[in-house]
Structure 1
Amino acid sequence: METLETVHSGTKRHKKIRRHSTSLDIHAQSMRRPPEGDSIIEKAPMKLGPPPVPTGPKKKVNENKSVAAMKRRKRRTNMSSDSGLETAEDDANVKRSRSDTKSDFLTSLGPLNDISSIHPVLDCTMESTFSKKSKSKLDVTWEKAVCNARGQPDGAERSMRMAKSSAKNPESCAIIEENDENVIPVESEDEANGMVDEEEEEDNEMVEVKKMEKVEKKKKSLKDKVQGAVKKMKKLKEGKATTGKLKKGVLKRKIADVMGSSPDGGGLKKAKKSEKESKEEKKDFKKLRNNYDLIQNSKKIWEELRKHDVTVDRKTKLCAELLDMSKGKMQLLAFTHDGARVIQCLIQHGNMEQRAVAFDEMKNNMVAMSESKYAKFIVRKFLTYGSKMERSLVFKSLCGHVRRLIRHREASEIIEYAYNEYANATQRLAFLEEFYGPTFTLLKTDDAKSLEDVLNLHPKKKDMILANMKETLVPLIEKNILTHSIIHRLFYEYFLHADSKARSEMISELRETVVNMVHSRDGARVAMKCIWHGNTKDRKAILKSFKGFVLKMSKEEYGHQVLLSIFDVVDDTKLVSKIILEELLKTLKEVAMDTYGRKVLLYLLSPRDPMHFHPDVVKVMQEGDTNEFSKKDTNVRHDELLDVVSKPLLKIVIDNTKELVSDNNSLLFLLTILSHAKGDTTKALEAVAEICAEKMNNSSLGDLHIVEHPAGHITLKKLIAMDKEKMKNKESVLFSNVLMNTVPESVLKSWAACNRGCFILLALLELGNPEVTAQLLPTLATMKKSLKMLKFKGAQLLHDNILYNTKDD
């Protein structure tokens, strides 16, 4: 008890006693009894809030409780109120008298084994974890001893938070203990009275100090970032391998980005440089590269060598200088942007000897050059301008790597260029054999020229070859590498020799990406086979993939044949109309004026007509007739598609009659529309007759009238000849009747003045239409003498016909 009384004697004695409180802590921990009352674990679950107010008589609290503790309690009250915690008990505790607290504290202390009964164990809350650390520098060793002696109840939420916080910050546990409400700080009244002003001043100072520390930290971080950027720039300049990839202004951009996030909110404004400064910086940057002097000197020769007005002797001399300068260093120059340009010019303009020297230096590095962004063009130059031996060596160096290089973005262009432009049948097969299997990669066959020949030589290896091809081709579909013709050839060969099951599996893999293959002959054949042998689901997916590409396909040499195969076999004509025909009709004039686009429209009007389609094309189309998935009758399918396009085609004749009647390519197209389109053709025929009604010396077609035009007079003769079939079918609308009702009599007589006009009049008389003959013959009968005087063949035949028809008169 003496040690406890000396606590209040003075500050110095108070500190001395607290230095020896460690033994008391140990003794208190060993002699502590469990807290009185029920454990908090047995009660209701923990709630975030202050402990409940005890129902029994309240103990008086000492009035001499420090003002600092009261201030801390107010702070906790504000924090708890912000977080939704109740603060009724804290307000009550602040108003308790200091004298009662002091007396209760002295009387409540007993032996160390009863130290846990100083204060009742209350339900722990989150207030201690949220409270701020006290600004006072009090010695709290005795309070620590009391806390350690009392301990914490099992399962208390506070103990778990202390464990977590102590793991992160060892000082957090001490902070919680200092701010605990159950611990009464022991301090003198003088200290308590003088703490308010000191703490307020300390609070203001701490806020300003923290602000200054934040600003200094941000400044330091900015400096560190700038210094880091400078160091990286220096490392990049020192590194030889990466100097060629440096870009001007990297350092300044990094510094500007760093300073743009400064606390003041201001960033570096890029000053506009003059052209001279930028050129100087660019020149200094280029000097960091290897072989800078060599590249600069060679570029001077290159600038003169590539001019068109340089003589042959001068080119030979410049190439010799350039060869001497770059000899032994061509492989280094080939992989740079400007160095590759110089070597390309040397190969193109040099003679055979100079080209051979350059090839000998680079021939062992062709595969790596093919994979380079710049050196690949040198390989192209050797293929284009090289000798037969040099070209064969390029093919030989690429063989064995085709299967890998075809997947490379840069090298695949070289493989495609070599295969399409300069490879013969043997070299093409050498490229393709790498996809047949490892055996054919190592052992080339000279006798075979295609997969069919290989299978005839090795019939037992058919399954193995097709399995290897499938294993190679499926990844190409997944990577969407389907634009090269060598890939199209592989797919076409696979479809030719695979069975129906394997073919169906490949169609299901290829159906959404086959649109990338229709621009080549083999690729178009692959797309046609997918349409012929695909089921309804496959055909629907293929048609949907064509959406947006129909116009382009209709104007391609091989792509338009894919559309013809769709018209032949797809039973869902509504889907065809929605995806294919709808896109065609939006740009119908553009399609009609194109050579291959007209074939698509002609196939809709008159499919497989030998007048419009070559027999070989018809033979190819007949391969799809035996497919197992088309159930609708061919004529029914054709009629449904024709109903969709007839009206727009007749309208295009009305709107573009002059272009159609005066163009040899459009002549048959016009006749086919007027003969096969469904609907009323009267307006279209009247549009043609109105052009015929123009005067001979005032034609809208130019210098020649339609009856004298090479294509126009054939158009009129064909239309008149079509009336014979219409008369047999007893059709009411005839072009001859429309023509006679539209063209004036004076214009008809003027036609007899030219040879082609006489043949048109003769065709009208020979038609056998009673209405036309009765109207035309009296007009021509008055011209017998004039026709007899004309010497050209048409006039003589017309005169004889008139005499024959009027001799009875």
Structure 2
Amino acid sequence: MAPTTTKKFNNKSNNNKKRSSPSNEKSINKKAKISVESSSSDEDEDELDQLDDDSASSGSGSASESSSDDDDADELDDIVSSASDVNEDDLDHLDNNEEESNDDEEGEDQDKEDEDGERTEDGEKSTSDNHTEQRKLLKERKMQRKSGIEVQHIKSLWEKLRVNTPPLPKEVREKLSNEIWELSKNCISDLVMKHDASRVVQTLVKYSTKARREQIINSLKGKYYVLATSAYGKYLLVKLLHYGSKNSRQVIINELHGCLRKLMRHREGAYVVEDLYVLYATQEQRQQMVREFWGAEYAAFREKHSGTTIEQVCESSIEKRNIISRNLIGTITASVEKGSTGFQILHAAMKEFVKIADDKEISEMIELLHEQFAELVHTPEGSEVACTLIAKANAKERKLLVRALKDHTEKLIKNEHGNIVFITLLLCVDDTVLIFKSFGPSVKEHLQDFIIDKYGRRPWIYILLGLNGKYFAPNVKKELSKYLAMAELTSKKPTSQKRQELLNKFSPMYLKTISKYYSEILSENLGSQFISEVLINDELYEQLGEKDKAVFVQIIDRIITSFKGDISEESHPIHRPYSTRLLKSLIQGGKWNNKDKKLEPLEKVEGLGVPFAKRFYEDIIDSSNLLEWINTSDSSFTVVALYEALNDKEEGDQLIGDLEEIKGRIDATKDENNKGAQLLLKLLK
């Protein structure tokens, strides 16, 4: 904290300025200390209030109280600066009077205390009285400033304009906006730098017409860099971007052009650049913003380099490649040290850098980022950077990256981009024991949620089936294959071997989770599909020990049991389309090859196919409700699958006999949508 300075007071009974006595200096120091603490607290609250003026008070009464608090906070902000406004001439004047007698000083001090109300009868002054006097004094000073009366008038109008509940009529808002604009248009550049006045302009932007916003944009030309680096002005700049037109955004971008690298190193400016890149810039503007990080040449001659990729520039000249690399790593390093690692525009700059980085630069990048590595994975650019670093890292560096991610397992795997990073770890890291130990405990806790999540299930599908085109889109497969090719230089184990080792470690976890949460998983389409892939998998079954096989049988028992009940009830699981698909695959006991249009039966899994079909019929359907299952459109295809699996089999004698008895009562015309009953009749003929 800066050294406390004494404050000069005017004595009405004596115009001569005297040096304060030691006792009076102590009182003044105490007073200044209280002011600084209050100012610090209020500034924190003001910055929170600044985030959005949409949180305005629900009525004019509460809005007025809020304004009063803001005024008080602003006045307390000024007390610190006013406490240090003693110039050298004043101090010299005080020094010249230092030799006056102590009696005179004590008398004068007492007069000052009595007049200014610094002490009560008991010799102590309350803090509230202290603040009241300070506020009164500062309010008078503010009114004497340039445009002081106009600013107070503007604030009073703003209190009315920002009320949201009840909403003001459009005519009233327009009238208030016009009045505020007429008062503020000549001093708007001064208003936007102060915390409360900046909020006035923000509200004006929000409720103004398009033409008025254009006027505000034009009146602030030349000040957008200052706004971007201002603790209060940056919020107005974001408001202008949010409510502004395409042309007005272009005006702001053009003015900030050439300053982005500098802004990214600024605590306030970095947030403005991030919002501009993520929320408001077009794709072409984004590319130009990123090219600006290459260096001054690409900022100054942006039209010349429009559409140029970083690879093309670096291939043309090694010297240019070194300059671009140096500029990029300089910006990245400074931004990371400033705490901006999670910014998407910084991820875009990192993406450019890793495209041209050599092995040494990749290692330096990992060293720089490994502690904040988890902050990369939530954006498409950051995910690509993270995957590239994992693929090109050596074994020791990959261990650092795994440790950085293991505490973020749930968010990592469920994230649209983060799960690609996790799959890249599974593809590239040779130490599968490290993977299992690092992520296994958290996966065990959340696996029931992962396997019913659109993105969260993909790593576990990969372990089961590899990069199967049924679950991985062509662009995702292409991207993962790219990282796999990068890892060939540093990985020693074949990818298939790593996947088999991971399957061996995670398969018991799959079965225990399904057995415990089978009801919740079966109630979800993705979960039902995942159970089907787990059960109909020779590779997984081959990995199981005796205990795990017992759990496998238990899962089959629970699936069968879950279909007991009256199928006329809407809550019966047979009415879910995905339940019918699950039953069909278990009854068939194999996977349908859509390319060759044939069923590929299982070779090693026990308990599925004919044994499952026989047991399901005996335990769930039998002759008592076979006709009802056939005449219900949601369940008829299940009977067709049973017939196809058990026909001409000894285990199917009971089913075939029961069908012969009731086939005359099958009414396929009752429900035209009952395609299963129609197909069954054709098969029986």
Q: TM-score, normalised by structure 1?
A: 0.63
Aligned residue in 2 for 1:550: 409
- Does residue 226 (structure 1) correspond to residue 82 (structure 2)? The answer is no
Aligned residue in 2 for 1:466: 325
Aligned residue in 2 for 1:494: 353
Q: In the TM superposition, what whole-angstrom CA distance separates every residue of 1:184-222 from its partner, at most 9, and x where no partner exists?
A: xxxxxxxxxxxxxxxxxxxxxxxxxxxxxxxxxxxx987
Q: CA deviation at 1:412?
A: 0.8
Give, in whole Å, the separation in 1 of the partners of 2:74 and 2:617.
Answer: 85
Q: CA deviation at 1:284?
A: 7.3
SS of the equivalent of 1:436 reads coil
* Residue number among 724, 733, 743 corresponding to 2:607 in the alignment: 733
C-alpha distance 686-286 of structure 1, shift in aligned 2 (>3 A): farther
Q: CA deviation at 1:521?
A: 0.6
Paired residue type of 1:706: P
Aligned residue in 2 for 1:798: 680
Give matches, 1:691-730, under 5 Å: 691-698=562-569, 703-723=570-590, 728-729=602-603
Give, in whole Å, the separation in 1 of the partners of 2:617 and 2:136.
Answer: 82
Give, in whole Å, the separation in 2 of the partners of 1:286 and 1:643.
Answer: 75
Q: CA deviation at 1:337?
A: 2.3
Paired residue type of 1:758: S
C-alpha distance 518-391 of structure 1, shift in aligned 2 (>3 A): same
Q: In the TM superposition, what whole-angstrom CA distance separates every residue of 1:758-807 from its partner, at most 9, and x where no partner exists?
A: 2110111112472542232122222111115644432222123234xxxx
Is the Cα contact below 8 Å between 2:76 and 2:135 reproduced in 1? no
- Does residue 786 (structure 1) correspond to residue 665 (structure 2)? The answer is yes
Give, in whole Å, the separation in 1 of the partners of 2:385 and 2:438.
Answer: 21
Paired residue type of 2:679: L
Q: In the TM superposition, what whole-angstrom CA distance separates every residue of 1:281-340 from its partner, at most 9, and x where no partner exists?
A: 878766654566444433443343333733433332221111012122222221222212
C-alpha distance 774-245 of structure 1, shift in aligned 2 (>3 A): same
Paired residue type of 1:759: F
Paired residue type of 1:780: L
Paired residue type of 1:760: T
Q: CA deviation at 1:730?
A: 5.3
Give, in whole Å, the separation in 2 of the partners of 1:525 and 1:381.
Answer: 31
Paired residue type of 2:445: K
Aligned residue in 1 for 2:154: 298
Q: In the TM superposition, what whole-angstrom CA distance separates every residue of 1:12-58 from its partner, at most 9, and x where no partner exists?
A: xxxxxxxxxxxxxxxxxxxxxxxxxxxxxxxxxxxxxxxxxxxxxxx
* Residue number among 651, 656, 676 corresponding to 1:777 in the alignment: 656
Give matches, 1:271-350, under 5 Å: 289=142, 293-306=149-162, 307=164, 309-350=167-208
Deviates more, 1:430-439 or 1:563-572: 430-439
Give, in whole Å, the separation in 2 of the partners of 1:694 and 1:658.
Answer: 15
SS of the equivalent of 1:609 reads coil
Bigger CA radius of gyration: 1
Is the Cα contact below 8 Å between 1:295 and 1:338 reproduced in 2? no
C-alpha distance 587-284 of structure 1, shift in aligned 2 (>3 A): farther
Q: In the TM superposition, what whole-angstrom CA distance separates every residue of 1:119-141 from its partner, at most 9, and x where no partner exists?
A: xxxxxxxxxxxxxxxxxxxxxxx
Q: CA deviation at 1:556?
A: 1.0
Q: In the TM superposition, what whole-angstrom CA distance separates every residue of 1:484-505 from its partner, at most 9, and x where no partner exists?
A: 1111111111111233343344
Aligned residue in 2 for 1:422: 280
Paired residue type of 2:644: E
Q: CA deviation at 1:481?
A: 2.5
Give, in whole Å, the separation in 2 of the partners of 1:292 and 1:625.
Answer: 67
Give, in whole Å, the separation in 1 of the partners of 2:394 and 2:181.
Answer: 62
Q: CA deviation at 1:406?
A: 0.6
Is the Cα contact below 8 Å between 2:261 and 2:292 reproduced in 1? yes
Aligned residue in 2 for 1:522: 381
CA RMSD of aligned residues (A): 3.5
SS of the equivalent of 1:595 reads coil
C-alpha distance 272-422 of structure 1, shift in aligned 2 (>3 A): closer
Q: TM-score, normalised by structure 2?
A: 0.74
Aligned residue in 2 for 1:683: 554
Q: CA deviation at 1:399?
A: 1.2
Is the Cα contact below 8 Å between 2:406 and 2:438 reproduced in 1? yes
- Does residue 438 (structure 1) correspond to residue 239 (structure 2)? The answer is no
Give, in whole Å, the separation in 2 of the partners of 1:686 and 1:232.
Answer: 75
Is the Cα contact below 8 Å between 1:319 and 1:354 reproduced in 2? no
Deviates more, 1:651-660 or 1:405-414: 651-660
C-alpha distance 325-480 of structure 1, shift in aligned 2 (>3 A): closer
Q: CA deviation at 1:526?
A: 0.6
Give matches, 1:207-218, under 5 Å: none
Aligned residue in 1 for 2:632: 754
Q: CA deviation at 1:685?
A: 1.6
- Does residue 671 (structure 1) correspond to residue 532 (structure 2)? The answer is yes
Paired residue type of 1:733: G
Q: CA deviation at 1:757?
A: 1.6
Unpaired runs of 5+ in structure 2?
A: 1-20, 39-72, 84-121, 592-598
Aligned residue in 1 for 2:238: 380
Paired residue type of 1:686: D
Q: CA deviation at 1:687?
A: 1.4
Paired residue type of 2:663: K
Q: In the TM superposition, what whole-angstrom CA distance separates every residue of 1:444-483 from its partner, at most 9, and x where no partner exists?
A: 2345235337617954522322233233333334444311
Paired residue type of 2:161: L
Is the Cα contact below 8 Å between 1:366 and 1:397 reproduced in 2? yes
Q: In the TM superposition, what whole-angstrom CA distance separates every residue of 1:346-397 from its partner, at most 9, and x where no partner exists?
A: 1121113322222222222111111122211111122122233321110111
**Structure number with higher relative contact order (C-alpha < 8 Å, ≥ 6 residues apart):** 2
SS of the equivalent of 1:743 reads helix
Paired residue type of 2:476: V
Paired residue type of 1:659: E
- Does residue 397 (structure 1) correspond to residue 258 (structure 2)? The answer is no
Give, in whole Å, the separation in 2 of the partners of 1:408 and 1:694.
Answer: 66
Paired residue type of 1:773: G
Is the Cα contact below 8 Å between 1:788 and 1:799 reproduced in 2? no
Paired residue type of 2:407: G
Is the Cα contact below 8 Å between 1:539 and 1:570 reproduced in 2? yes
Q: In the TM superposition, what whole-angstrom CA distance separates every residue of 1:424-443 from its partner, at most 9, and x where no partner exists?
A: 34432332233222322333
Is the Cα contact below 8 Å between 1:694 and 1:747 reproduced in 2? no
Give, in whole Å, the separation in 2 of the partners of 1:423 and 1:795.
Answer: 57
Unpaired runs of 5+ in structure 1?
A: 1-219, 252-266, 804-809
Deviates more, 1:331-340 or 1:476-485: 476-485
Aligned residue in 2 for 1:584: 443
* Residue number among 608, 623, 628 corresponding to 2:467 in the alignment: 608
Give matches, 1:117-196, under 5 Å: none
Q: CA deviation at 1:579?
A: 1.2
Aligned residue in 2 for 1:640: 501
Give matches, 1:466-485, under 5 Å: 466-485=325-344
Aligned residue in 2 for 1:245: 77
Is the Cα contact below 8 Å between 1:528 and 1:562 reproduced in 2? yes
Paired residue type of 1:751: W
SS of the equivalent of 1:511 reads helix
SS of the equivalent of 1:752 reads helix
Give matches, 1:256-267, under 5 Å: none
SS of the equivalent of 1:547 reads helix
Aligned residue in 1 for 2:645: 767
Give, in whole Å, the separation in 1 of the partners of 2:204 and 2:684.
Answer: 78
SS of the equivalent of 2:406 reads coil
